[in-house]
A and B are shown apart, each in its own frame.
Chain A
Amino acid sequence: MSTEPNPEPNPAMAPDGDPEVYYLNMGPQHPSMHGVLRLVLKMRGEEILEAEPVIGYAHRAHEKMAENRNYLMFLPNTSRVDYLSGMIYNIAYCQAIEKIMDIEVPERAEYIRIIACELNRISSHLLWFGTFLLDLGGITPFLYCFDDREEILDILDSVTGSRLTYSYGRFGGVTMDVDSAFVARTRAFLARMRDERLPKYRRLVGDNVIFRERCEGVGVITRDVAFRYGVTGPCLRSTGVAYDVRRAEPYSIYDRFEFKIPTRVEGDTMARFDLRIEEMEESCKIVEQAVDGLPEGPIMPAKPKKRYRPPAGEYYFAVESARGHFGTYIISDGTDVPVKLKLRTPSFSNLSSMPDVLRNTMVADTIAIVGSIDVVMPEIDR
C-alpha cells in the first residue's frame, strides 16, 4: 500500500510574518482539556487568531471492527463509542437493526428502554455539569453532581450489570427485566432531583454572578455557523432551532410522552448551561411518565432469531443522544456481517465548528467555550 508522504500543514495556521504571533498547544494531556483533545492556538497576546482541534488520539477503529464481525457481535462496541451516554448508543444500534429486520419489540421492553436511555441522558448531563464547573474553578457543584450521577449508575447497574459500558439492549428487547425495587428507586431519584437538586443547581450555579459573568456572551455559536458545520444537540438548540430527533423524527415510543424541546436564542455558553439543566427536567418528566405507564409482559420476543441477516440495501437510522443527532448508516449485502457501518456522531461535527467559534476570543475563555460544547473524545474518534 502506498500513499503520499506527510500532508501539508493547515494554511490558516501558517505564520504571517507578524513577530507578535505565537502558538500555544493545549492538550492532549492538559488537565482541563476534555479527554484527549488537543487544540493548537495561533495567538497574538491573549487573543486567539486561529484554532485547530487535533483529534484521533482515542481512535479505536469501531467502524473497521464492525466490518469484521456479525451484527450481534458488534453490540458491546456501541456503548464504548460514547461511554457517557452509552445506553443511548447501545439501544440505538438495536433499534436500527430492529427497523431493518422488522423485529417487533414488546411494550414493556420499549418502556424500559425509554427509562434507561433518559436516565442515561440525565447522568451524561450531570457529568458535563460537574466537569464544566470544575473547569471554571468551582469544586463544590462537582461533588453534588457526582452524588446524583452515582445514584443513576447504581440504578442502571442493578439491572444491566454495568456502570458505563452497558450492553443492555438485544435485537428485539433488553437482557434483564426491571423489578419493583428498580421502580421505587427510580421514583425516589426523580423526586429528589426535581424537588431538591435541580432548583439548588439553578440557585447555586445559575444565579451565581461570577459564573454568569464568565458565561454570558462567551463562545457564541450563531445559527449560521451551526447550520454550516452540522452542529446538533443542545449546541444547536441554544441558537433557537428547536431540532431534537425525538420530536423531528420520532423513534421508539417517544411520540407517546409529553415533553418540551427547550431552546434559547443567545447561542452562548450560558444558554447551553440553561438548556441542559432544563433538558434534565424534561428527561425526568419522560422517565416519570414511562414508569407510570410501565406495562407487564415479556421483555424479549417469544422467539429471538439466531442469526441476523438484514436484506441487502442501505439504511439510515437516527436518534437524539445527549450530544445531538447520532446516525447509524448500514450497508448490508444480505449476509450477517455488515459491508459498512458508519457512525455519524454529534460531537464530531460540534467540535469541527470550534475554529469559527474560537476565532477572536480570549484564551482565558477557551476552557469555558470548549467545555460548554460537551465533547466526548472517544465518540468523536470512534
Chain B
Amino acid sequence: MSKPRAEAEHDSDEHETEKMSRILGSSVAELAESSEHADYAKYGYHHVYLANIESIPEITRHFFDAGYLLEMVTCQDRRDDAGTMRLVYTFNHLAHLDRHLVHADVAADAEAPSITSLYQAADWFEREVYDMYGVRFSGHPNLKRILLPEDADFYALRKDFGRIEDAPQES
C-alpha cells in the first residue's frame, strides 16, 4: 500500500558555498561600521558586525540573496551604559555552517527599519522586540504585542522595569 516517496536531493557543492560566504562577509563588512572575526569554538558564531541601523535592510538583503536563514532577532537594553537599545540579528547558512551576528544600535524611542519584506520570520521576532523592549519598527505590517497582554502598559525586558516581583499586580 505505502509506496516509497521521493528522496531529497543533495545540497549544492560545498566548495562553492564557502567561496560565496567569503564574498558575502566582505560585502557586509563594507556596509557595517565595524566587523570582527569571532572564534566559533568559543562564541558559537564566526563574524560579528556593528552596523548603522539605517543599513540593516541592505545588509539583510545580502544575506537573503546568499540564501542565509534569519535565525533570530532580539534586543539588548543598553541605555544604562550606552544610552541605546541594541538590536541583534543572527544569520546562518543551512548547508554550510557560517553564523553572522549583526548589531545595530537604536534610540529607545526611535524607529528601526523592519526587515519583514524579506524575511517573514522577522514579523514575530520584531513584534517580540517591540513587546519586550518598546523598539518600534517602521514598515512592519502588523506591529502589536505578541506575548504580553494587548493592553499592557510596560515593556517587561527593559532593565528599568525591575524585577518580576515589581510587576504591576492586578487588584
What residues of chain A have their CB less than 8 Å away from a CB belonging to chain B? 1-3, 5-12, 55-56, 59, 61, 63-65, 67-68, 99-100, 202, 206-207, 209, 212, 227-230, 237, 240-243, 248-249, 263-266, 271, 274, 313-318, 325, 327, 329, 331, 339-340, 342, 344, 348-349, 352-353, 356, 381-382
The reply to whether B5 and A1 form a contact with Cβ atoms under 8 Å apart is no
A349 engages B7 (CB within 8 Å): no
Are B44 and A61 in contact, with the CB atoms below 8 A?
no
Q: Which residues of A contact B74 (CB under 8 A)?
A: 329, 340, 342
Asked whether B19 is an interface residue with its Cβ less than 8 Å from the other chain, the reply is no
Assess whether A3 is in contact with B153, with CB atoms less than 8 Å apart: yes
CB–CB A61/B121 < 8 A? no
CA distance A8 to B144 in the complex (A): 7
Residues of chain A within 8 A (CB-CB) of B150 are: 6-7
A46-B75 Cα distance, complex, nearest whole Å: 41
Does A274 lie within 8 Å of B5, measured CB to CB?
yes
Give chain B nearest CB distance to A305 CB in angstroms. 18
Given A315-B43, A381-B147, A241-B157 contact (CB < 8 Å): no
Whether the pair B43, A314 counts as a contact (CB closer than 8 A) is yes
CA distance A67 to B156 in the complex (A): 11
Question: Which chain A residues lie closer than 8 Å to B119 at the CB level?
Answer: 228-230
B-side interface residues, number (CB < 8 Å): 55
**Chain A residues positioned under 8 Å from B69 (CB to CB):** 227, 230
A55, A99, A266: the one within 8 Å of B42 (CB): A99
Q: A240-B8, A243-B94 are in contact. List 9 more A-B contacts (CB 8 A).
A: A64-B156, A64-B164, A67-B157, A68-B164, A229-B120, A230-B71, A271-B5, A313-B43, A329-B72
Contact between A340 and B76 (Cβ–Cβ < 8 Å)?
A: yes
Q: How far, in angstroms, from A278 to B107 measured CA to CA in the complex?
A: 49
- Contact of A7 with B71 at beta-carbon distance under 8 Å, contacts A206-B2, A339-B76 already known: no
Q: Is B110 positioned at the interface, with any CB of A under 8 Å from its CB? A: no
Contacting pair A352 B124 (CB below 8 A): yes
Bound Cα distance A206, B5 (Å): 13
- Distance in angstroms between the alpha carbons of A265 and B121 in the assembled complex: 22
